[in-house]
Amino acid sequence: MKPDAIKTKRYFDPFEIQKHLENVEYIMMVAPAPEKFKETPIHFSIFLNTSDNLPKDIQAAILDKFMDEHRIKNPQELMSQLMPVGFGESTQDTAMPMLLIKPEDQQNIPHTIMFVMDFLADSNNFPQAKIENLTGWTYAYSDE
C-alpha cells in the first residue's frame, strides 16, 4: 500500500523563503525511487543554500562528503546545477522543499535559486524511503 501524498497547504512567498533559509546550510530530501531502479531505490535531493554555481571539484567533494556520512552507494542519474526551489507548508514540522522542474510551476510558485544535487542511490540508513516508501527531509543549520 502506498502512503498518502504530502499535501501542500500553501507556498511560502519570497520574503518567507528568505527568512526561512536564514542559517540553513543545506536540506536533504529522500524519497523512494521509481520501482524500475532496483539497484538505486532511493531518490536523494540535496539543496545547498547557495545561488553560486559551484565548480565541479567542489561538487565532487560535497557529494563524497554526503556519501561518506550517510553510507550512500551507487549514485546514478546525477544532476547538479542551480535550480528554482519553492517551499510548501504541510502537516510536517518543517517546510517541504520542492524542486520546480515544470515551467508552469516556476512561473506560478514563489521560489529561490539554490544549488541542487539530485540523484538515485542506495543506503541502508534510510529505511523509511527504501522499505516504507515514505518521503522525508532534514535541515542542517550553520552555527552562526
Q: What is the pLDDT of residue 1?
A: 47
Is there a domain that residue 115 lies in?
Answer: yes
Is there a domain that residue 124 lies in?
Answer: yes
- Which residues 6+ apart lie within 8 Å of 99 measured at CB? 45, 47, 83, 84, 85, 116, 118
Q: What is the pLDDT of residue 90?
A: 84
| One pLDDT digit (tens) per residue for the chain, 144 residues | 455 666 788 999 999 999 999 999 999 999 999 989 989 999 999 999 999 999 999 999 999 999 999 999 999 999 999 999 999 998 888 999 999 999 999 999 999 999 999 999 999 999 999 989 999 999 999 976
CA 127 to each of CA 67, 68, 118, 121, 137: distance values in angstroms, whole numbers, following the listed order: 16, 17, 19, 13, 13
Q: What is the pLDDT of residue 91?
A: 82
Is there a domain that residue 16 lies in?
Answer: no
Is there a domain that residue 122 lies in?
Answer: yes
Is there a domain that residue 5 lies in?
Answer: no
The DSSP element (H or E) to which 84 belongs, if any, is strand 73-89
Q: What is the pLDDT of residue 7?
A: 76
Is there a domain that residue 10 lies in?
Answer: no
Is there a domain that residue 132 lies in?
Answer: yes
pTM reported for the whole predicted model: 0.91
Q: What is the pLDDT of residue 83?
A: 97
Total domains in the fold of the chain: 1
Is there a domain that residue 11 lies in?
Answer: no
Q: Are 98 and 88 in contact (CB under 8 A)?
A: yes
Burial class, 121, CB count within 10 angstroms (exposed 0-12 / middle 13-18 / buried 19+): buried
Structural domain harbouring 59? 29-141
